[in-house]
Structure 1
């Protein structure tokens, strides 16, 4: 493998230098890197060398970062060294991040450390060119914002319903975007993930509701410490996340973040036999309740928090909010706890700080029913509970996020109140919310 990579890199250098194939012979990575940088420096007005998918190269040539460090340091001392700009790329995010950490050779030598994230939900809608916001929401809920899926999945055509599009893409074993196959490919992007079955089982356990390391271990019949490292790897790759309570120190909740993996573990795997026998439409109909409750609902809550982070400052009386997340609020009189889907602290406040100023309390609902004054009264009650617990709520805005709109009486309330925001799906995608 190493000799193949050396040969291919050498041929690329020769081609760039205008040499005939086979005329350049380089025997090690120091020679290859030195020649690549020298040729680029002589051949281009802006000398640039790009090494893509570096993590795969490091599997059999771990010395490459050290050699790059040597060349960089030689150049800094006035020697030959690096004469061109060097860009290192890779899809294994955890490996790329570690390149610049701790005592690694490239620590302190990179000018830019850039992570290319997936498109946000609004950019994704424009990229896919989807007119209907509800269709855009559902496509984003199953594929996320990675632009590479658009060419292989194709967007739902005008007039084509989402259900038909989905059964002909994510639930079609003959398509490259078939979620079962795609999940396996995603796990292989990180070379540290060698026990694919273990990681696959961990993802399944999380999808089925295991939200702490102990619960994940129990679901797999393993001790907690046996899944700690795999969970850390999955978190560093961005496939799982740990959500902290904004107000109170408690165990973080582990959830899946990659929509394709979440769809596969919750929808495709339980229906895989029917799907691979050609009954995708029937399988999708059977899975619809799970999709609505465990995928679409949580995804809508995620977008509500995203809207609050990115766009709420334009309408909040206090302007830009601080940390945003979720929380649970104790209700001693009722002997219960209220889950809060969206909570934003005031700018400058720290999570879990006592008596913090709270900028916004919100509830997000993706159910078919429109939201009404009962939802508003619940938020008012929660605001009162937080005030009783010492938090500053005098300037707190209440926000209701609804997938299917609001009852007329609630809209009338919002028109008269400066502390109430109503955010429906069109508002999430760019039309301003209703409020006083």
Structure 2
């Protein structure tokens, strides 16, 4: 995500002290490294702090940075220190309380870590730092326009496919050894030279295991690896995950909750009907790894990456591009709330048609719940197919609107929206232009290149 890059820059511009913990480093080595950073910051020899304990080191660092006026102490990758020195949050609490009482140095402390399971708990319950943090910030992946700018990709179609493979994490850009694709035609060569080249850093034999290594609480946990892989392959509930792993549903509860808390899995609820939430993988690269890389591993590892990509193209379109386009459509609508009547919730849902004994999936629905009844601001479809969308899609949305009305929801002001990766036929554009309740959103619009069509 670029956390360390931003923190170093912040410390530099504010005259602060930046220190970073090191994985698998013992307590003595860690304190000596911290002492050396303090000495370098103060412009003195490290021998003065060589044998200091944690409390003395933290006090000295705060005192020195506070003298800089806008004093700032940045501690990066704190969970690595906590692995061998769990008392550090308590010491920070002690120093904070002393400062508030005027009995110790002031200044500011910014702590950071990649292990979300550890960072999430620092301010929870009865933990030492609860109530003492001014801000709790989680860096999010880049959205579509920022990803395209970061990679230097002008073509929305190419940029969207890169985003579908790697997501919006900016750090992957530095791992690519070839220029980014500037068209869909160039994507095949780019993928074969990066994510499907066993010699390259973007290729991973087990992406879930690689990501979990960043979190000390999951290191070596084969069950957690297996759960992520099961979800990436389509298991969306504890029962389905347990069935794939030959485990009981009840045995899945705690490890799934831990992975959700750590940011590796997410619950996507359907609050329209208050059904049980669907479990999905947060990182697109994990989905790509399980659906594309693993099935084609023999071809990839024998140097036939181009063939691996050709064979996996149908899966890429249906199981990677399709779900990712739906997610991006919902994210875009959340960023433009006025288009859905300022609805408070945007999600996907399934509507039961009892008359026809069928279930209908709705890719995008925006609504407010009022006294058990939904006031629906928008009903939409998001299609990543290779064909343009036409009036048949609008007719289907009309049917979904009528069905929701029969089931007691307020659709009197609902907008009908069609999100299309390949654009729209002329008849649909003409029909939308004659109405004030239709919204057409293409791929360039998702990238901020123009606005939606429709009345």
What TM-score results when the alignment is normalised by the length of structure 1?
0.94
What are the equivalent positions in structure 2 for 1:228-377 lying under 5 Å apart?
228-311=253-336, 313=338, 315=339, 318=341, 320-346=342-368, 349=369, 354-377=372-395
Confirm or deny: 8 A CA contact 1:244 1:250 kept in the other structure. yes
2: CA distance between counterparts of 1:291 and 1:22? 58
Residue 45 of structure 2 corresponds to which residue in structure 1? Answer: 20
1: CA distance between counterparts of 2:256 and 2:280? 11
Residue 32 of structure 1 corresponds to which residue in structure 2? Answer: 57
Q: Does 1:41 align with 2:66?
A: yes
* Residues 27-36 or 210-219, more deviating: 27-36
Three-state SS of the structure 1 residue aligned to 2:127 is coil
2: CA distance between counterparts of 1:222 and 1:255? 19
In the TM superposition, what is the alpha-carbon distance from 1:86 to its structure 2 partner?
A: 0.6
Confirm or deny: 8 A CA contact 2:272 2:349 kept in the other structure. yes
In 2 relative to 1, CA 197–274 (structure 1 residues): closer, same or farther, beyond 3 Å? farther
Match of 1:127 among 133, 143, 150: 150
* Residues 102-111 or 371-380, more deviating: 371-380
What are the equivalent positions in structure 2 for 1:39-118 lying under 5 Å apart?
39-42=64-67, 44-80=68-104, 82-118=105-141
Three-state SS of the structure 2 residue aligned to 1:149 is helix
* Residues 213-222 or 16-25, more deviating: 16-25
In the TM superposition, what is the alpha-carbon distance from 1:331 to its structure 2 partner?
A: 0.9
2: CA distance between counterparts of 1:278 and 1:250? 46
In the TM superposition, what is the alpha-carbon distance from 1:108 to its structure 2 partner?
A: 0.2
* Residues 388-397 or 178-187, more deviating: 178-187
2: CA distance between counterparts of 1:272 and 1:201? 18
2: CA distance between counterparts of 1:157 and 1:142? 13
In the TM superposition, what is the alpha-carbon distance from 1:92 to its structure 2 partner?
A: 1.3
2: CA distance between counterparts of 1:84 and 1:216? 48
Instruction: Give CA deviations for 1:113-167 in whole Å, capped at 9, x if unaligned.
Output: 1111111112111221210000010000011111111122255154670111111
Residue 435 of structure 1 corresponds to which residue in structure 2? Answer: 454
In the TM superposition, what is the alpha-carbon distance from 1:250 to its structure 2 partner?
A: 1.6
What TM-score results when the alignment is normalised by the length of structure 2?
0.90
2: CA distance between counterparts of 1:433 and 1:63? 54
- Detail structure 1 runs of 4+ shifted over 6 Å in the superposition: none
1: CA distance between counterparts of 2:259 and 2:248? 18
Three-state SS of the structure 1 residue aligned to 2:297 is helix
In the TM superposition, what is the alpha-carbon distance from 1:83 to its structure 2 partner?
A: 2.2
Residue 385 of structure 1 corresponds to which residue in structure 2? Answer: 403
In the TM superposition, what is the alpha-carbon distance from 1:330 to its structure 2 partner?
A: 1.2
Three-state SS of the structure 1 residue aligned to 2:142 is coil
Residue 199 of structure 1 corresponds to which residue in structure 2? Answer: 224
Three-state SS of the structure 1 residue aligned to 2:300 is helix
Confirm or deny: 8 A CA contact 1:203 1:265 kept in the other structure. no
Confirm or deny: 8 A CA contact 1:354 1:390 kept in the other structure. no
List alignment gaps of at least 5 residues for structure 2: 1-25
Residue 149 of structure 1 corresponds to which residue in structure 2? Answer: 172
2: CA distance between counterparts of 1:227 and 1:331? 32
* Residues 22-31 or 114-123, more deviating: 22-31
